[in-house]
């Protein structure tokens, strides 16, 4: 299978993760005018499964190191399957809860609580599981990235002209979603060997771990997204008939979103051997700032923002860049 052998290349892979995780939502934005999120989400999940399978059958079978993709799936113990599947279930529930929190309470409440909590707890949990990197640089860097997320939320609050519909309920959803989001990567990482060249028997290598993780997302979606379709946080209920009546091009947009997200997940897991799970996860969750870049410079979301908002945005980007550099140096 394809394996990276240097820390600098691992950092590049983590930065690709950040770009992918911060960019996939553009596909949802493109579809939002004619396609409900609940319907889009099915295509998004299908895209994740497809990309994980393609990577497994291609990159997962390249070279002489590690174990081939199918052989790796066959030799894994049930405990490894359960951990990777559980990671997918946890991620899916967390993702849906944070989206619901944004709909109910607004981005200015949901993002700093949900993503900020996921970032801090996720780095702590993954660092404890595999203590790789300078802890001082790592956690100072993560603190600055968290500050950037808060500044981003404050900027969105200034942009918003309407009050949150139910901030208390949204806050609870964001807290629970952020807590779950901090855990999913840990379970996937625990399902696989962190020695990719000579992997431990009974555990997955990166490509099989991500594929089984994606199956956990797909299987749990029949429960979580069906509930969301019948009792949406906004709008009227949607049906499966609506989904199957969608045009091919609208389905392809959602599938593309899932493919983009899964490229990021795969690259993060592939980088975990050299960078360590904490740094891989921490850099990836800097995706919030990539999403902010799209919002500021491409979608022009702040063109009508009140005076002074630009100062928050520049402070946000400064904290993010400095924090990012510290997280990268933590692994050197």
Residue 236 maps to a domain: yes
Domain extent for 208: 7-127+163-275
Residue 25 maps to a domain: yes
Contacts for 313-321: CB closer than 8 Å, 24+ residues apart: 313/151, 313/152, 313/155, 315/151, 316/148, 316/151, 316/152, 316/155, 316/289, 316/292, 317/148, 317/289, 317/292, 319/144, 319/145, 319/147, 319/148, 319/151, 320/144, 320/145, 320/148, 320/286, 320/289
Number of independent structural domains in the chain = 1
pLDDT tens for 54-74 read 999 999 999 888 999 999 999
Residue 53 maps to a domain: yes
CB neighbours of residue 56 within 10 Å: 26
Residue 48 maps to a domain: yes
pLDDT of 163 reads 47
R_g (Cα) of the chain, nearest Å:
19
In the chain, which residues have pLDDT < 70? 106-109, 160-167
pLDDT of 258 reads 97
Compute the distance between CA of residue 261 and CA of residue 214 in angstroms, rounded to an integer. Answer: 11
Residue 157 maps to a domain: no
pLDDT of 217 reads 98
pLDDT of 29 reads 85
Residue 332 maps to a domain: no
pTM, two decimals, is 0.92
Residue 308 maps to a domain: no
CB neighbours of residue 37 within 10 Å: 23
pLDDT of 218 reads 98
Residue 239 maps to a domain: yes
At 124, list the tokens. Answer: 């702590």
């Amino acid at each position: 299978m394809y394996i990276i052998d240097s820390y600098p290349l691992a950092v590049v892979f983590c930065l690709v993760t950040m770009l992918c995780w911060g960019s996939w939502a553009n596909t949802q934005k493109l579809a939002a005018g004619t396609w409900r999120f609940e319907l889009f989400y099915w295509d998004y999940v299908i895209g994740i499964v497809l990309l994980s399978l393609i990577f497994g059958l291609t990159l997962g079978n390249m070279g002489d190191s590690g174990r081939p993709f199918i052989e790796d799936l066959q030799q894994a113990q049930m405990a490894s399957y359960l951990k990777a599947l559980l990671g997918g279930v946890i991620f899916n529930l967390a993702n849906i809860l944070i989206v619901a929190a944004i709909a109910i309470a607004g981005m200015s409440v949901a993002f700093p609580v949900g993503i900020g909590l996921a970032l801090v707890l996720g780095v702590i949990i993954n660092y404890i599981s595999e203590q790789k990197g300078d802890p001082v640089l790592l956690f100072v860097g993560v603190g600055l990235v968290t500050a950037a997320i808060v500044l981003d939320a404050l900027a969105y609050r200034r942009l918003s002209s309407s009050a949150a519909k139910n901030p208390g309920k949204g806050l609870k959803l964001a807290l629970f979603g952020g807590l779950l989001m901090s855990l999913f990567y840990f379970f996937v990482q625990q399902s696989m060997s962190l020695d990719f060249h000579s992997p431990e028997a009974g555990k997955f290598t990166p490509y099989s771990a991500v594929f089984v993780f994606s199956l956990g997302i797909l299987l749990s979606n029949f429960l979580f997204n069906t509930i969301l379709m019948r009792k949406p946080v906004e709008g009227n209920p949607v049906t499966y008939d609506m989904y199957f009546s969608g045009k091919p091009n609208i389905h392809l947009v959602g599938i593309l979103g899932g493919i983009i997200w899964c490229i990021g997940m795969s690259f993060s897991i592939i980088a975990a051997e050299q960078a360590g799970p904490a740094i891989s996860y921490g850099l990836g969750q800097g995706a919030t700032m990539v999403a902010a870049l799209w919002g500021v410079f491409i979608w022009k979301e702040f063109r009508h923002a009140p005076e002074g908002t630009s100062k928050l945005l520049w402070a946000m980007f400064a904290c993010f860049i400095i924090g990012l550099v510290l997280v990268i140096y933590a692994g050197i």
